[in-house]
Amino acid sequence: MKNKAQINKLFAGNGSPELGKRIGEFFGQGLGAIELQKFSDGEMAPYFNESIRGANVFLIQSTMAPSDNLLELCLMIDAAKRASAYKAIAVIPYFGYARQDRKDKPRIAIGAKMVANILTAAGADRIMTCDLHAGQIQGFFDIPVDHLNGSAIFVPYLRSLNLEDLLFASPDVGGVKRTRSFAQHFSSEMVVIDKQRKKANEIAEMTIIGNVEGRNVVLVDDLVDTGGTLCKAAKIIMENGAKSVRAVCTHPVLSGNAYDNINNSVLEELVVTDTIPLTQESSKIRVLTVAELFAKAINNVTTDGSISQLFI
């Protein structure tokens, strides 16, 4: 008799249809059939068009935009559990609300913890995600979390460029650990951009801690939102004598006037992944896929293999 844990089915929500399809191709299995009924008042009702009884059900859904896609994911999890799935695994390439990971001022919600509670309450047995804004968010869950690292995608690409005098830069103090990891891979040095904010998405002052003169600089961040910080950092780096500056950011949130900011910036290129689909095309934005990385992780989970071997 076939073991329940050997039955694996993949489904994609409306937030990640193309990425879900690519993951399925690399995994060697097509996506399962699921429909999302939507009522005129906005209510959603997902429905599995095939039996998932006794299966490991992988639900692929980035939560950007967070409101609809997060609720849709929770409904998919609930539907899977009520349909007697063996396990419901939420595959969340981009985890929304991750920037709300602490109480940094009075009377504010910790959104990342609340979302973790919601996903767990919905019935998720496991979470799989990539480059959380803060690694400690894994501790908000009381279920297993597979936290994949985007460096597995970016490092091979950067090596292919054969850049001399390479230097890595963190756009803020919070990204130092991530940037140092890249620098160590290339036996390179790093600098830090110290920034002071007036309010969210608005920078008051920015200075470089370190020397960028004569270097090819790579800015490293987990996500790019409006692009304001990234583009201003790139400008300051070039003004301080760098040869070139480019950026690698896992999640292309790209809200507001982000595309204009990037197109008009001094950045050579912005390298992102497909955890979030782009809404516009840009000659300065290069997209690398995380599909193979997630497919390998899903395979290792189903075969009780190691996830850490996927890290560089």
Distance between CA atoms of residues 169 and 191, nearest Å: 5
Strands 202-209 and 189-199, sheet pairing: antiparallel
Distance between CA atoms of residues 41 and 38, nearest Å: 8
Mark out the alpha helices in the chain (DSSP H runs): 17-27, 66-82, 111-122, 151-161, 176-185, 228-239, 258-263, 291-302
Q: Are 117 and 143 in contact (CB under 8 A)?
A: no
Close Cβ partners of 43 (under 8 Å, ≥ 6 residues apart): none
Q: Which residues of 213-231 are buried (b: 16+ CB within 10 A; e: fewer)?
A: eebbbbbbbbbbbbbbbbb
Q: Are 61 and 90 in contact (CB under 8 A)?
A: yes
**Would you name the residues annotated as active-site residues?**
195
Tell me which residue has tokens 């002071």: 196
